[in-house]
């Protein structure tokens, strides 16, 4: 039993960068983003937004988060309101929003990051 | 605000230092007090904007105040920093009061200006994030874009 395309929610992919002086692990950043969305939108809002972090690159501090199209602004606002991670001041900068992961990567993220991904795939 | 074609100075003063706020060349923005009466006094002065006239607890704005603001061409400035600094219930109350203010400003015809109010580089945000804040506060995305672009431009033209 497949899931009919008409019932699928349209997704939006949000490209972001964490501005910080300290280094955080991938897990720490993902948990901070999820916690911020959960705190700001609540459990119901979190469920509605279908929020998730698709990937985060530790070295470039850039990543892509996912939400539904109806909750795109709510999720961006929730991400923007992260003042610190593990007590250290940070700022989360949103580059833009796209309808596909590949387009979000090619349009907004660092070219070095894309090259590195290609190298990993080639290996 | 960074408009190169309109070289205008911007002065932000606390509500306690209103006497120093008068300047013909600069755009003057005053940080609001948490008292409604003080805020009404502020908007009767020759200033260009009042910053964050909403607080989590106190009632610091009403229809009368916004009508005076409209008559004196004063804009309401909403900063993202205020939301960044608040936590939990305090932030929720800020959102509630911010929504009331935006609704009332729409009804009264007062312009709302969205800014980051950043004090350091970590508090800087891109326009899309400010548009999201506007949407959270009950604006349509187009109106939020307007309050980021056209309203600062019109303010700069006023002095420039």
d(CA A20, CA B20): 36
**Which of chain A's residues have a Cβ under 8 Å away from the Cβ of B124?**
91, 93
Length of chain B: 160
Whether residue A49 is contained in a domain is answered as yes
Q: Strands B10-13 and B75-79, how do they pair?
A: unpaired
The structure's pTM equals 0.88
CB atoms B123 and A91 under 8 Å: yes
Put residue A42 in one of left, alpha, beta given phi > 0 → left and psi -120 to 50 → alpha.
Answer: left
Q: Hey, which residues 94-113 in chain A have their CB within 8 Å of chain B? A: 94-97
Please provide residue B109's backbone torsions phi and psi, each rounded to the nearest 5 degrees. Answer: 80, 30
Structural domain harbouring B95:
10-159
Q: Evaluate if residue A85 carries a pLDDT over 90.
A: yes
Q: Hey, which residues 22-81 in chain A have their CB within 8 Å of chain B? A: 39-40, 73-74, 76-77, 79-81
Angle at B153 between CA B147 and CA B156, to 5 degrees: 125
Whether residue B127 is contained in a domain is answered as yes
Residue A114 binned pLDDT confidence (cut-offs 50, 70, 90) = low
Note the pLDDT of residue A83. 93
CB atoms A81 and B88 under 8 Å: no
Whether residue B5 is contained in a domain is answered as no
**Distance from the B38 Cα atom to the nearest Cα atom in chain A, whole angstroms:** 29
Whether residue B81 is contained in a domain is answered as yes
Note the pLDDT of residue B37. 86
For the residues A98-121, what does the mean pLDDT come to? 77
d(CA A66, CA B121): 26
Note the pLDDT of residue B145. 95
For the residues B52-67, what does the mean pLDDT come to? 85
Would an 8 Å CB–CB cutoff place B84 in contact with chain A? yes
CB atoms A80 and B125 under 8 Å: yes
Whether residue A58 is contained in a domain is answered as yes
Mean pLDDT of chain B: 86
For the residues B117-144, what does the mean pLDDT come to? 94
Domain count, chain B: 1
Helical spans, DSSP H, in chain B: 36-43, 63-71, 80-85, 88-108, 127-136, 141-159
Q: Evaluate if residue B94 carries a pLDDT over 50.
A: yes
d(CA B40, CA B28): 16
Note the pLDDT of residue B99. 94
Q: Evaluate if residue B41 carries a pLDDT over 90.
A: no
CATH number of residue A78's parent domain: 3.30.70.3250
Domain count, chain A: 1
CATH number of residue B123's parent domain: 3.20.20.140
Beta strands per DSSP E along A1-61? 11-20, 52-57
Distances (CA, A) of B97 to A73, B87, B91, B113, B147: 19, 15, 10, 16, 18
CA torsion A68-A72-A74-A79 (nearest 10°) is: 100
Count the neighbouring beta carbons within 10 Å of the beta carbon of residue A16.
26
Cβ within 8 Å of residue A26, ≥6 positions away: A56, A58
Put residue B123 in one of left, alpha, beta given phi > 0 → left and psi -120 to 50 → alpha.
Answer: alpha
Structural domain harbouring A85:
9-122
A19, A89, A94 member nearest B128 (Cβ): A94
Place of tokens 């300290």: A22
- Mutation to test the B interface, candidates A17, A76, A84, A92, most B Cβ within 10 Å: A76
ipTM: 0.87
């Amino acid at each position: 039993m497949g899931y009919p395309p008409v019932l699928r929610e349209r997704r939006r992919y949000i490209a972001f960068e964490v501005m910080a002086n300290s280094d955080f692990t991938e897990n720490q950043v993902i948990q901070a983003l999820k916690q911020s969305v959960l705190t700001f939108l609540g459990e119901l809002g979190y469920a509605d937004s279908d929020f998730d972090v698709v990937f985060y690159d530790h070295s470039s501090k850039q990543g892509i988060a996912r939400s539904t199209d109806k909750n795109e602004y709510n999720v961006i606002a929730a991400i923007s309101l992260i003042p610190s991670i593990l007590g250290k001041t940070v700022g989360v900068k949103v580059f833009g929003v796209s309808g596909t992961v590949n387009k979000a990567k090619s349009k907004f993220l660092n070219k070095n990051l894309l090259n590195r991904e290609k190298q990993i795939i080639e290996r | 605000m960074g408009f190169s074609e309109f070289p205008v100075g911007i002065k932000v003063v606390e509500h306690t230092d209103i006497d120093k706020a008068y300047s013909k060349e600069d755009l003057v923005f005053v940080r609001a007090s948490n008292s409604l009466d003080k805020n009404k006094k502020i908007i009767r002065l020759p200033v260009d904007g009042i910053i964050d006239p909403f607080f989590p607890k106190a009632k610091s704005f009403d229809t009368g105040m916004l009508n005076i603001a409209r008559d004196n061409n004063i804009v309401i400035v909403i900063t993202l920093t205020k939301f960044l600094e608040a936590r939990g219930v305090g932030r929720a109350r800020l959102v509630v009061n911010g929504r009331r203010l935006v609704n009332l400003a729409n009804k009264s015809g007062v312009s709302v200006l969205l800014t980051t109010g950043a004090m350091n580089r970590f508090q800087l945000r891109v326009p899309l994030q400010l548009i999201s804040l506007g949407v959270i506060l009950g604006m349509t995305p187009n109106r939020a874009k307007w309050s980021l672009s056209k309203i600062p431009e019109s303010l700069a033209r006023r002095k420039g």
